[in-house]
Structure formats: C-alpha cells, structure tokens
C-alpha cells in the first residue's frame, strides 16, 4: 500500500512538473507573440503616421519700383471629412452639394459625387479628395457658401488644402532672368541664385496615411511652424524691359536670327535695368531658353577694338592722326589673311579713321608691331579690364572666358593679330558691356547688379551697394581719346545710321564670323555696344544678334537699330536727359488763363462763350494765344513737315492728334494741358520718333 502510494505521489509530481513546464513554455510563447504583435502595431503606426515637411511660402521678386515680377499665389485642393456632419444636416444638403460639385468640376455627375461622399461616410472614412484640380482663392470663397461647406471644417467637413503656385504678373518679361527652381532644387536665374533667401524655412507636421495613399494632416501640439521666405528687389525697370524685349523680338523676326540678347545698364550704379535673351524655337518663333548675356560666350569681333586702342594709347607714343597703310583690303599674317569688309580696302588712313571704319588690318598691324614681341603686355590689359575671369555676378551661370596665352598649345604667330580685332577668344556680352560702361563712367569699372536688396516687408535685411572692380581703367588722356573715337563711330563711322539730332550716342559696332568645328562660316554675330547721352552718359547697352539672314549682316544694320529704339524710348520718358527748355511765361491772373493754344476755330468759339474779346493775325488752322490788354490775339502756330510742332498749352486731345498726324509716337504723364514736351519745337525728326508730354 505504501509502495502504491509512493508511486502515485511520484506520478503526480511528474505530472505537475510537466504541467508547470507547459505553462512556462506557453507563457514564453505568448510573451514573444505579444512582443511581435506590439512591434507590428508600432510599425503600422509608423507607416500610417509620419512627420512631414510643410513648405514655407516663397518670397516675392520685385522690380525697381516694386512692381511684382514673381509671387506665390494660394491655390487649393478640395477634400472632405464626410463623417463630421450630423445626419439631419448631411441628408438635407448632400443633393445640393453634389449638384454644385458636378457643375463646377464637370468631371462627374451629381449622382456620382453623391455616391462618392455617401460611400465614404458609410465606410467611416475620415478623409476623401473630392477633386485633384487646384482652385484659386475666388473659387474657394465661392465654395464656402455652398450647402454643407458653409458649415465649415468641423461641422460640414470641408477641407481646403493650400498649395502655393508661382505666378508671374508680367508673363514672360525677363522670364529667364527671374528664373525658376524645380522639385529637385535645380533651376536658373534669380529664383535659383537667391533660393535660400526666397525659400524661407520649411516647417514640420504630423500626417496620417489614409485610403488611396493620400496623406491627411493631423493637428497636434508638436508641429514646427514654417518661416516664410524673404522678398528680393531687383534693379529691373519693367517698362524698359518691355521695350527691350519687344525691340529685340521684332529684330529677330525681321532678320530670321538664331539667338539674341540685349542688356541695359545704369552707368553710375551698375544696375541692370533691362535684360532679354531670345532663342529660336525652330518653328519661326522665339523664347527665353538660355541666359546668353550671363552664360553665353562669343567672339566679340570689332567691339574688342576698344581694348586694342586703349593698350596702344597707354603703352606707345602713337597719335590718332598718325597714318597707317591698310592696302587694298587684304593683308597676310603668317600665311593667314586678314580682310577688311570694304571692297578694295581703305588704303592709307589715319589711326582715328581706321577705328571709325573698323579696319581689321589696321588693328592687327598695330598690335603686331607694338606687342608682337611682348604679348603678355597686351594680355595684361585683358586681365586688368576683368575680361579673363567671371565677373562674380549675383546670378548663377557664368562661364570662364576662353582667352589664349603664349604658353598654350593653340598659341601661334596669328593669335595676337587676330585678337586685336576680336577673334580667337570668347567672352560674355556682360564682360563687353561692363568695359564700355567703365568708359562712360569716367574710367571707373563697376560690377553689374541684378538685386539691390533683400527685404522682409518694408524692412531691409540686406542691401547690395555698387561694387567697384577697377577704380581707373586707364589714364584721363587715353579715356578722353577713346570717348572721341566712340562718338566718331556714330557721327561719321560705321554706326552713322544711329545719329540723331536730339541726343548723342557713343559706341562701337561688331561683326564676327561664327566658328564651327574649327572653321569660320559665312554666318555672323552682329553687335552694337555703347552709351548715351554721349557727354553726360546715364545708360550703357549692348545688343547682340546671332546669325541674321538676308541682305543685312552687319552690326550697324542688325543690332544698331535695336540699340537706337531702346535709347529713343529712354530719352522720350526721361526729361532729365533733355536740354533745359525756355522758361515758361506766366499768364496774368484773371485774364484768359485757359486759352493758350490749339485749333483756331475751337478757341474762338470758346473765347466767345467766356465773353473774352479776341481777334486774329493769322488764318492758320493752329494758333497760339497772345495777350493784348484784356483781349486775345491769335498768332500762327505753324505745323511743318518733318519739324516738331509746338504743342505746349494745348489740350492733350489736340496735342495727340497733331503729333501723331506728324508721324510721332506720343508718351505722356499727368493730367490737363501740355506743360512740357521732350522734343524741341521746330527741330527735325524721323518718322516714328518718340515724344514725351508732361501734362499739368
């Protein structure tokens, strides 16, 4: 019995041991499963909820007078939480809301929208995108009055997700210079160059992933608020930009050219007031693809002869009246021929005239004679004039100029003579413009400026002042001689077609053959660079047009007219550029202060209405009023062909009629009668010239 009991006890103990072991194993397995389950749930939570970036609102880009060039406008995607509205409210408004959505988006029927929203509500979906199309603020405002949506976010469930879209109020004006930044943080122009300032600082918020792979914002207390970007103010004059682009565009079309660029720079400050870069799109139109002015490299051609003359005048004892034999238009250097564009050549001419007619042979012979044995001396001027390195502009995209040196493999006996008239090397249009601007600025070379300030509202965060690159590029004696040469080019040289009677232009034409695969083609890069008014320069400009087709192939006939058109526009709008006009005669108060000039028939009728005595000394149609005691005498105001009429004192209506009939293009400012006119009465003008009227 004791033996049986002992065995039974042992069996029970063994059974209990097995049971305890099984429980322990089960507990361990359960713990592992619980841990794995918690890990799965944590991963699920991390998959469904993520901290994501919230983009800051990008800063604005302004012109010189604070006109908007680029801004971020708010657009919205419309979403909804269909579970929030109470049953009675939802059922009462769902039909009307669906009808509004169908009418607005026109992509689904009212029935389909109703089913979309009701299915989401039944499935307890807290977020659905009603339409991926972005709407503007006005449409958003309209939608907030719709059934259900008018109850707002928490009662009606409507969600307007803001999306900033970059907008350019002036469309394509200066588009390449304004630039862009894409999703990969790549881009061009000022948008890219000032991306850090414009972009601001992105924030961070929690988002939940819902059905359809859409991310819905979850509002909690841990969000990091974004900081909006700064604004930048550019030096661009939007009116001048319009003129520059239009003039370049018309010239490109007229000459069926491949590429073109124009830049206008303020002499004292270096501010870029206008810049346009056009390229053929292959179908007869033009668009801004590349910034040729900043990142383009071209052989400058004859515009480089300014550097040649500067080096000669500074380093040698030559006189502008000295003569040089250019022969019959062809000269051989080391088995290579240099040609002048004049058939038969210029023969023996003065160095002054050689520059005015742009003789390649003269420049090549002079440089070979005086610098052939010391080319580095000549190249030192290229370096001092900042033509051999990037200018360090505010806008990205500059390339290193391609300048050969005596130690280079491609250097030969013809390199320096060819360089003398702008061949065998490449620089950007802005390098050439900066050089000529230094001549206009009394020898002081300043860096081109695109952006004048970084701002936060009205507060200036950073201001960009004029930076001097070279305080004096040459002696005063040489500077004065160079000025006379550049004025002479327009007065009686290759650019005499740009001469006018109102203001003086100084500058230089350029025509360079295009190098392709090591050979020069009979295709040309035409250019004109200069400044105006010549004696008190305010603006410098360069125009470059590549591969014009047709009978016009030179800088004076292709690029020059664009320069002249821009200069005319500036002159017509800026009265400070004009000569002082005669002091206005004051009219005695109380006597006929409003009857000054106009059509005689209308003025006589008006004076009769006012009870003012008047008589006429002339039967001319247009007259001016002259005081005669308490009466008016009508004096003739002659209108002669090709002479500027005197319209001061006239109503704007009469002045506009008379000037446009004469062939002038009228610009004006103010209200009332004409107080001042930009073109002096009685002077000759060309048809299509601009005249500015100040009204008051």
Q: For residues 258 and 535, what is the distance between their CA atoms, to the nearest angstrom?
A: 35
The mean pLDDT of 662-679, rounded to a whole number, is 80
Indicate the DSSP class of residue 212. Answer: G
Does the pLDDT value for residue 181 go beyond 60?
A: yes
For 527-577, write each residue's pLDDT tens digit: 999 999 998 999 999 999 999 998 888 888 999 999 999 999 888 877 777
pLDDT digits (tens, 9 = 90+) for 306-316: 999 999 999 99
**pTM, two decimal places:** 0.73
Report the pLDDT value the prediction gives residue 515, as an integer from 0 to 100: 79
Indicate the average pLDDT of the chain: 84
Mean per-residue pLDDT for 5-11?
Answer: 56
Comparing 498 with 171, which gets the higher pLDDT? 498
Task: Extract the tokens encoding 691.
Answer: 């005249």
Of the given ranges (241-255, 291-305, 680-694), which has the lowest mean pLDDT? 680-694
Which stretch of 56-70, 184-198, 294-308, 597-611 has the lowest confidence by average pLDDT?
597-611
| Tens-digit pLDDT profile for residues 629-647 | 566 666 666 677 778 888 8
In 3-state terms, what secondary structure has residue 542?
A: strand
Give the pLDDT score at 336.
86
Nearest alpha-carbon partner for 117 in 97, 134, 100? 97
Closest CA to 299 of 423, 453, 394, 115: 423
The CA distances from residue 440 to 244, 443, 446, 529, 539, in Å, are: 20, 7, 11, 12, 8
Strand order in the sheet with 506-516: 286-287, 272-280, 259-266, 539-546, 519-532, 506-516
Nearest to 664 by CA among 678, 644, 648: 644
The predicted structure's pLDDT at residue 426: 96
Q: Residue with structure tokens 């017509």?
A: 572
Contact between 401 and 428 under an 8 Å Cβ cutoff? The reply is yes
Domains (range + CATH), the chain? 61-234 (3.90.1310), 241-577 (3.40.710.10), 597-695 (3.30.10.20)
Give the list of residues 6+ apart from residue 512 with CB closer than 8 angstroms, or none: 298, 299, 300, 301, 302, 422, 423, 524, 525, 527
Classified as helix, coil or strand, 446 is: strand
CA dist 315 and 374 (Å) reads 12
Cα(257)–Cα(252) distance, rounded to whole angstroms? 5
Please give the average per-residue pLDDT across 338-357, as a whole number: 92
DSSP assignment, residue 346? -
Contact 82, 91 (CB under 8 A): no
Q: Which of 568, 627, 549 is nearest to 595 (CA)?
A: 627
Nearest alpha carbon to residue 367 among 311, 302, 424, 426: 311
Region 155-160: what's the mean pLDDT?
91
Name the token pair of 623: 């007259």
CA-CA-CA-CA torsion for 214, 220, 222, 227, nearest 10 degrees? 70
């Amino acid at each position: 019995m004791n033996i049986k009991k002992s065995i039974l006890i042992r069996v029970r103990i063994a059974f209990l041991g097995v049971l305890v072991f099984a429980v322990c194993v089960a507990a361990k397995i359960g713990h592992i499963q619980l841990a794995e389950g918690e890990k799965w749930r944590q991963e699920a939570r991390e998959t469904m909820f993520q901290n994501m970036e919230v983009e800051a609102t990008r800063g604005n880009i302004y012109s010189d007078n604070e006109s908007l060039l680029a801004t971020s406008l708010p657009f919205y995607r419309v979403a909804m939480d269909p579970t929030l509205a109470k049953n009675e409210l939802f059922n009462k408004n769902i039909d009307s809301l669906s009808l509004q959505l169908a009418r607005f988006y026109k992509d689904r029927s009212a029935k389909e929208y109703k089913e979309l929203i009701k299915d989401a509500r039944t499935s307890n979906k807290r977020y659905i995108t009603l339409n991926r199309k972005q709407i503007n603020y006005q449409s958003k405002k309209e939608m907030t009055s719709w059934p259900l949506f008018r109850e707002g976010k928490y009662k009606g469930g409507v969600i307007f997700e803001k999306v900033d879209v970059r907008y350019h109020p002036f469309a394509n004006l200066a588009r390449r210079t304004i630039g862009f930044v894409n999703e990969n943080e790549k881009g061009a122009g000022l948008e890219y160059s000032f991306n850090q300032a414009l972009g601001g600082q992105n924030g961070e918020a929690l988002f939940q992933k819902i059905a359809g792979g859409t991310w819905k914002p979850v509002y909690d207390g841990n969000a990091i608020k974004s900081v909006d970007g700064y604004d930048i103010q550019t030096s661009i004059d939007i009116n001048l930009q319009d003129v520059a682009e239009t003039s370049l565009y018309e010239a490109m079309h007229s000459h069926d050219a491949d590429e073109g660029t124009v830049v206008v720079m303020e002499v004292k400050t270096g501010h870029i007031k206008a810049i346009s870069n056009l390229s053929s799109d292959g179908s007869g139109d033009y668009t801004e693809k590349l910034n040729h002015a900043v990142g383009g490299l071209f052989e400058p051609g004859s515009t480089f002869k300014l550097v040649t003359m500067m080096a000669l005048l500074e380093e040698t004892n030559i006189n502008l009246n000295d003569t040089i034999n250019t022969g019959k238009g062809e000269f051989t250097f080391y088995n290579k021929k240099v040609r002048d564009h004049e058939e038969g050549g210029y023969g023996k001419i003065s160095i002054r005239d050689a520059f005015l007619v742009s003789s390649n042979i003269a420049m090549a012979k002079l440089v070979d004679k005086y610098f052939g044995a010391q080319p580095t001396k000549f190249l030192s001027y290229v370096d001092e004039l900042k033509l051999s390195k990037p200018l360090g502009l505010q806008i990205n995209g500059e390339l290193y100029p391609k300048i050969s040196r005596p130690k280079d493999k491609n250097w030969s006996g013809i390199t320096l003579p060819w360089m003398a008239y702008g061949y065998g090397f490449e620089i950007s249009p802005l390098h050439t413009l900066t050089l000529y601007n230094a001549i206009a600025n009394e020898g002081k070379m300043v860096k081109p400026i695109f952006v004048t300030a970084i701002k936060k509202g009205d507060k200036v965060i950073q201001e960009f002042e004029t930076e001097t690159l070279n305080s004096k590029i040459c002696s005063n004696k040489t500077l004065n001689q160079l000025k006379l040469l550049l004025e002479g080019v327009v007065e009686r040289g290759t650019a005499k077609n740009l001469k006018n009677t109102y203001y003086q232009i100084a500058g230089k034409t350029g025509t360079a053959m295009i190098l392709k695969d090591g050979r020069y083609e009979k295709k040309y890069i035409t250019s004109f660079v200069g400044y105006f008014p010549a004696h008190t320069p305010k603006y410098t400009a360069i125009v470059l047009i590549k591969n014009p087709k047709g009978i016009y192939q030179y800088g004076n006939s292709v690029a020059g007219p664009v320069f002249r058109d821009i200069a005319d526009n500036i002159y017509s709008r800026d009265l400070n550029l004009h000569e002082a006009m005669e002091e206005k005669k004051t009219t005695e108060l109380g006597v006929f202060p409003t009857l000054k000039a106009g059509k005689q028939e209308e003025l006589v009728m008006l004076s009769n209405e006012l009870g003012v005595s008047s008589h006429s000394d002339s039967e001319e149609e247009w007259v001016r009023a002259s005081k005669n005691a308490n009466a008016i005498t009508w004096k003739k105001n002659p209108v002669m062909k090709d002479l500027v009429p005197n319209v001061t004192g006239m109503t704007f209506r009469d002045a506009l009629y008379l000037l446009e009939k004469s062939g002038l293009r009228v610009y004006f400012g103010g209200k009332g009668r004409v107080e001042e006119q930009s073109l002096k009465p009685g002077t000759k003008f060309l048809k299509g010239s601009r005249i500015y009227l100040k009204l008051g």
